[in-house]
């Protein structure tokens, strides 16, 4: 016998009708409100109600509610589509939203193609109080077609025609992003309602970051090592950012760029623009928006986060509602918790903080992937201010999909997007974006080094070590940076130098992702704290972006031109030393092609030339525009076209790389390759590491989410993602997903100087 609909519960002690009405009321638009009313309607069966209180229901499939709720929505929506009240796209996406609201969106056509177990569905419908459901809907002025039998095959054909009817990329992207926004809104409303949070529970932020905080940080900076002319240019850039943010008062949300040489103070200028822009938007009556600051890699987030944190005089009051850091290494343990309110309680994963610092990989996921978590992030990105720092790191084959997505985000979701870098790629047609930097940057000020190229022959790593050592031996006051393409190369050069114990290299250091973030931060701070020391740092690309270090001499292994310019930005960075010198060489072994691809390296070679040649800093920057044009021409457009086709057809699973067909594999949007070959290890080297681990485990065991949130960033500082072939055979800890390396075992496998012992 069916349980009376009004007596059913969505969660223990919570009436189902109250939950459905609450979720519906949090959503906007008749189509999405209808989805909210039906998303958990499948819980009104005797099977789910028994399951809710731990009773045995026999066949577990009978207690599943998502598919039943989707089928009920279909029966409700079909007459509305016939009457023109809902579109066929509303029907198709609404069906998939309900089916997948505990997971990730399917390709929409595939979602409607699901094979329904008619026997199970019939038993569920029999145990559901249909008259009670009909009466409840009638009281809300909605009708339900009891006798409507959906024809999935016919609906798929109609939906496919509707999706294909839009040809141009921008309307298709607008429709795609509307679906992401709607799904994210449904997920957030459902989680918040289930967790008992009022609609404004996450809107009030205590002492948010502001332009005054940026000004305060500037007043505390030590500029004693910066040349007066360069300090003046930094002031000009900062003032330009602040003025542009405040003066463009009446401009709608749009695309912006900040293009300035390394060392010119782009981070503070961008923050000045963002906070002023937000204040201007608020003054025009817009609701307060959040700031999303994105960087290419987790390895370079540390310095930017430390800058953001230092804006607060007392960072003990800086909790995750004000500033949160979100990337894959910041999610161990808690993200595996699947309860209804597990995500709703956390500011970070939902991007609900006043300011969020994240990675390009997370931005790509939010823009394209359509999981429940990613769609929530898209919902909280839309309408905000997005800063993409070091935007040149976006792969060339994704330039057009990103450009289409960001353009749509600006036009349709009132999102300001700032692209920031010293090496600005041409993602958008000229004149589309507004440049923040003043047009008359002093080229003489940013002429700090010469770049010497010699690609006539490949160089053994032994020779690289010898050259670096010889540079330091010739001048007691020089410092040197060597940037290699792989961790293996960097470790080999470091070990060769370390084994010699030569007086020419008084301070020899290594920096790469082979080290824990905690140790990388310690190394960077030790260099900054003793700027006049003679030091030789052997590093990977981890030093190229977001790292404020300066050296007299830089050696850079052959790489794409933008990477070479980024590495060169660590040479005489503050313009206060003698003229710097950057050496570009090609190491033997072909690491450049393996890491960056043959197209990038071939184009770089063609611009730098194989014969020995010397460039000034302005000459090198002058090559960039043509370099990027050539790179775009040499890169196949096939991936971009396939991705945009997937966007048009709403193929969310294909965009995540979950394609079943081989022909769909190239539709995925991933900025970093899957980490199936890497194993995260939590490594203890001192008492604080052991204490953090114990506290984290205790918090997980107690399901103390507040403690978990406080500890998460401390945990991520102590993690190294080890290539599988070098990983321990020890199984990962079940509650954290991490291989735990205690102090008594750490010395055998890890060094705070060079990292994981390979």
Alpha carbon distances (Å) from 163 to 168, 224, 735: 11, 60, 43
The CA distance from 125 to 134, in Å, is 13
User: Residue 723 is encoded by which pair of tokens?
Assistant: 């290539």
Q: How far is residue 455's CA from residue 435's CA, in Å, rounded to a whole number?
A: 35
Taken as a whole, the chain contains a residue count of 758
Which residues, listed in sequence order, are joined to residue 389 by a DSSP beta bridge? 420
Which pairs with CB-CB distance under 8 Å and at least 24 residues apart come from 308-314? 308/209, 308/271, 308/355, 308/357, 310/217, 310/220, 311/209, 311/213, 311/214, 311/216, 311/217, 311/271, 312/209, 312/213, 313/216
Write the DSSP symbol of residue 730: S
The DSSP call for residue 66 is: H
State the Cα torsion 14-15-18-22 to the nearest 10°. Answer: 40
Q: Give φ, ψ of 515 to 5 degrees.
A: -100, 155
Q: Which residue shows structure tokens 């008992």?
A: 196
Instruction: Determine the Cα–Cα distance for residues 375 and 350; give it in Å rounded to an integer.
Output: 9
Residue with tokens 């209808």: 34
The Cα 25–Cα 140 span in angstroms is: 12
Paired tokens of 171:
């309307």
Where do we find the tokens 């610092």?
A: 357
Pairwise CA distance, residues 527 & 410, whole Å: 41
In sequence order, the β-bridge partners of residue 625 are none
Beta carbons of 256 and 264 less than 8 angstroms apart? no
Q: What is the pLDDT, as a whole number, of residue 673?
A: 52
pLDDT at 347: 54
Nearest to 29 by CA among 168, 162, 189: 189
**What does the alpha-carbon distance between residue 621 and residue 121 come to, in Å, rounded to a whole number?**
65
Q: In the sheet where 255-259 sits, what is the strand order?
A: 323-326, 355-359, 291-295, 385-389, 416-421, 255-259, 434-435
The rounded distance, in Å, linking the Cα atoms of 253 and 410 is 6
Q: How far apart are CA 408 and CA 402, in angstroms?
A: 10
Distance between CA atoms of residues 419 and 628, nearest Å: 16
Rounded to 5 degrees, what angle do the CA atoms 313, 548, 582 make?
170
Answer whether 264's CB lies under 8 Å from 238's CB: no
Closest CA to 579 of 530, 617, 535, 544: 617
Residue 7: what are its φ and ψ, rounded to 5°? -95, -10
Tell me which residue has tokens 């609701």: 287
CA dist., res. 34 & res. 38, Å (int): 6
Tokens of 596: 């960056």
Nearest 5°: phi and psi at 585?
Answer: -135, 165
Cα distance between residue 376 and residue 352, in whole Å: 9
What does residue 449 show for φ and ψ, rounded to 5 degrees? -155, 165
pLDDT of residue 146: 75
Q: Which of 662, 671, 650, 607 is nearest to 396 (CA)?
A: 671
Phi-psi region of 358 (alpha: psi -120 to 50; beta: other; left: phi over 0): beta
Q: Evaluate whether 305 touches 273 at the Cβ level (below 8 Å).
A: no
Q: Which residue has the tokens 């910066």?
A: 226
Structure-token match 């989707």, residue found? 70
Q: What is the pLDDT of residue 718?
A: 94
> What Å distances lie between residue 718 and 513, 515, 702, CA to CA?
12, 9, 22
pLDDT of amino acid 292: 96
Domains of the chain plus CATH, in order, are: 5-165 (1.10.3210), 211-435 (3.40.50.300), 449-634 (3.40.50.300), 675-756 (no CATH)
Q: What is the pLDDT of residue 733?
A: 83
The pLDDT tens digits of the residues spanning 193-210 come to 988 888 877 765 566 788
Query: Could you tell me if 300 and 547 are in contact, meaning their C-beta atoms sit under 8 angstroms apart?
Result: yes
Q: Quick one: which of 62, 2, 67 has its CA closest to 41? A: 67
- Round to whole Å and give the CA distance between 711 and 174: 38
Statement: the pTM of the whole predicted model exceeds 0.95: no
Residues of the chain falling short of pLDDT 70: 1, 114-116, 203-207, 249, 299, 313-319, 327-348, 441-443, 501-504, 546, 672-676, 709
DSSP code of 5? G
Strands 385-389 and 580-585: unpaired
């Amino acid at each position: 016998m069916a349980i009376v609909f009004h007596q059913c519960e969505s969660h223990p002690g919570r009436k189902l009708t109250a939950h459905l009405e609450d979720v519906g009321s949090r959503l906007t638009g008749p189509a999405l409100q209808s989805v909210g009313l039906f998303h958990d309607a499948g819980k009104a069966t005797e099977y789910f109600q028994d399951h809710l209180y731990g009773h045995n229901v026999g066949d577990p499939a009978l207690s599943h509610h998502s598919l039943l709720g989707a089928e009920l929505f279909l029966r409700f929506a079909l007459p509305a589509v016939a009457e023109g009240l809902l579109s066929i796209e509303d029907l198709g996406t609404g069906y998939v939203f309900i089916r997948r609201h505990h997971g990730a969106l399917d390709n929409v056509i595939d979602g409607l193609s699901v094979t329904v177990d008619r026997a199970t569905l019939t038993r569920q419908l029999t145990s559901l109080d249909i008259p009670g459901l009909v009466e409840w809907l009638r009281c809300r002025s909605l009708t339900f077609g009891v006798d409507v039998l959906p024809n999935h095959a016919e609906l798929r054909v109609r939906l496919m025609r509707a999706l294909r009817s839009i040809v141009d990329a921008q309307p298709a992207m607008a429709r795609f992003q509307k679906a992401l926004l709607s799904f994210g809104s449904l997920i957030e409303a459902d989680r918040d309602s289930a967790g008992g949070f009022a609609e404004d529970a996450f809107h009030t932020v205590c002492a948010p970051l502001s332009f005054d905080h940026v000004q305060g940080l500037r007043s505390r900076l030590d500029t004693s090592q910066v040349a007066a002319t360069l300090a003046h240019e930094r002031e000009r850039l900062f003032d330009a950012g602040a003025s542009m943010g405040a003066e463009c008062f009446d401009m709608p949300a749009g695309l912006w760029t900040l293009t300035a040489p390394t060392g010119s103070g782009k981070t503070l200028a961008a923050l000045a623009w963002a906070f002023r822009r937000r204040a201007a938007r608020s003054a025009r009556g817009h609701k307060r928006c959040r700031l999303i600051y994105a960087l290419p890699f987790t390895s370079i987030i540390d310095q930017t986060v430390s800058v953001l944190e230092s804006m607060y005089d007392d960072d003990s009051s800086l909790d995750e509602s004000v500033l949160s850091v979100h990337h894959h290494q910041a999610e161990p343990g808690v993200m595996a918790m699947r309860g209804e309110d597990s995500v709703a309680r956390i500011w970070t994963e939902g991007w609900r903080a006043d300011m969020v610092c994240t990675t390009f990989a997370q931005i790509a996921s939010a823009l394209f992937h359509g999981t429940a978590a990613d769609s929530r992030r898209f919902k909280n990105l839309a309408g905000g201010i997005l800063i993409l720092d070091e935007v040149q790191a976006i792969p060339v084959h994704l330039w057009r999909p990103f450009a289409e997505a960001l353009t749509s985000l600006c036009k349709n979701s009132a999102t300001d997007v700032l692209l920031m870098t010293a090496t600005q790629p041409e993602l958008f047609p000229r004149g589309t974006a507004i440049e923040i930097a003043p047009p008359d940057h002093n080229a003489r000020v940013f002429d700090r080094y010469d770049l010497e190229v010699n690609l006539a022959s490949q160089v053994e790593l032994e020779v690289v070590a010898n050259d670096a050592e010889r540079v330091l031996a010739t001048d007691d006051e020089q410092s040197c940076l060597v940037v290699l393409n792989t961790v293996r190369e960097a470790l080999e050069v470091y070990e060769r130098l370390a084994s010699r114990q030569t007086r020419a290299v008084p301070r020899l250091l290594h920096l790469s992702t082979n080290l824990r973030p905690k140790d990388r931060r310690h190394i960077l701070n030790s260099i900054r704290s003793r700027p006049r020391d003679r030091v030789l740092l052997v590093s990977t690309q981890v030093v190229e972006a977001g790292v404020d270090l300066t050296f007299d001499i830089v050696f850079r292994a052959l790489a794409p031109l933008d990477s070479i310019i980024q590495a060169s930005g660590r040479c005489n960075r503050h313009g206060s030393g003698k003229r710097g010198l950057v050496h570009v060489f090609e190491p033997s072994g072909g690491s450049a092609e393996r890491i960056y691809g043959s197209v990038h390296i071939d184009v770089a070679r063609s611009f730098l030339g194989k014969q020995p040649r010397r460039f000034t800093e302005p000459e090198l920057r002058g090559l960039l525009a043509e370099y990027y044009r050539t790179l775009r021409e040499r890169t196949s457009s096939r991936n971009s076209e396939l991705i945009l086709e997937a966007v048009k057809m709403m193929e969310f699973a294909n965009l995540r790389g979950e394609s079943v067909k081989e022909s769909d594999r190239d539709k995925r949007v991933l900025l970093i390759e899957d980490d199936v070959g890497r194993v995260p290890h939590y490594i203890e080297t001192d008492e604080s590491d052991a204490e953090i681990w114990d506290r984290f485990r205790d918090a997980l065991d107690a399901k103390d989410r507040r403690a978990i949130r406080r500890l998460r960033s401390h945990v991520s500082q102590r993690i190294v993602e080890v290539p599988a072939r070098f990983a321990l055979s020890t199984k990962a800890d079940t509650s954290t997903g991490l291989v735990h390396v205690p102090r008594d075992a750490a010395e055998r496998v890890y060094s705070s100087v060079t990292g994981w012992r390979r």
